[in-house]
Amino acid sequence: MSPLSFARHQFPPAIIQHAIWLYLRFTLSYRDVEELLAERGVEVSYETVRRWVLKFGPAIASNLRRLRPKPSQRWHLDEMMIGVSGKLMYLWRAVDDEGEVLEVLVQPRRDKAAARKLMRKLLKKHGFVPTQNTINKLRSYGAAFRQLGLTAHYEQGRRTNNRAEVSHQPVRRREHKMQRFKSSGSAQRFVSLHAAVYNTFNFQRHLVSRRTLRTFRAQAMAAWQIATAAA
pLDDT at 158: 60
Q: Are residues 207 and 135 in the same domain?
A: no
What's the pLDDT band for 3 if we cut at 50, 70, 90? confident
129 domain-assigned? yes
Q: Give per-residue pLDDT as tens, 136-172.
A: 888 898 899 999 988 877 777 666 666 777 777 888 8
Q: Are residues 170 and 96 in the same domain?
A: yes
Q: Are residues 82 and 164 in the same domain?
A: yes
pLDDT at 157: 63
Q: Are residues 101 and 167 in the same domain?
A: yes
- CA–CA distance, 64 with 164 (Å, rounded to integer): 21
Look up the domain containing 28 and give its range: 13-67+203-227
197 domain-assigned? no
Q: Is the pLDDT of residue 16 over 80?
A: yes
Q: Which of 12-26, 66-80, 195-209, 211-225 comes out lowest in average pLDDT?
A: 195-209
Query: Looking at 151-219, which runs of residues are DSSP E strands?
Result: 153-156
7 domain-assigned? no
Query: Looking at the chain, which runs of residues are DSSP E strands?
Result: 74-84, 87-96, 101-107, 132-135, 153-156
> For residues 168 and 113, is the Cβ–Cβ distance under 8 A?
no
Beta bridge partners of 107: 90
Q: Are residues 48 and 84 in the same domain?
A: no
Q: Are residues 118 and 173 in the same domain?
A: yes
pLDDT at 206: 75
pLDDT at 151: 80
Q: Are residues 140 and 106 in the same domain?
A: yes
Q: Is the pLDDT of residue 230 over 70?
A: yes
Q: Are residues 207 and 168 in the same domain?
A: no
Count up the domains in the chain and report the number.
2
Looking at the chain, the number of H-run helices and the number of E-run strands are 9, 5
99 domain-assigned? yes
- CA–CA distance, 170 with 178 (Å, rounded to integer): 12
Q: Give per-residue pLDDT as tens, 63-122.
A: 999 999 999 999 999 898 998 888 899 999 999 988 899 999 999 999 999 999 999 999
Beta bridge partners of 154: 133
Q: Are residues 89 and 151 in the same domain?
A: yes
Q: Are residues 80 and 174 in the same domain?
A: yes
189 domain-assigned? no
- Mean residue pLDDT of the chain comes to 90
- CA–CA distance, 58 with 192 (Å, rounded to integer): 8
pTM over 0.85: yes
214 domain-assigned? yes
Q: Are residues 110 and 145 in the same domain?
A: yes
Element (H or E) spanning 192, and its range?
Answer: helix 184-201
Q: Domain of 160: which CATH number?
A: 3.30.420.10
CA 229 to chain CA centroid, Å, is: 21
- CA–CA distance, 150 with 68 (Å, rounded to integer): 25
Q: What are phi and psi of 209, to 5 degrees?
A: -75, 170
61 domain-assigned? yes
pLDDT at 159: 65
Average pLDDT over residues 186-205: 91
Q: Are residues 61 and 33 in the same domain?
A: yes
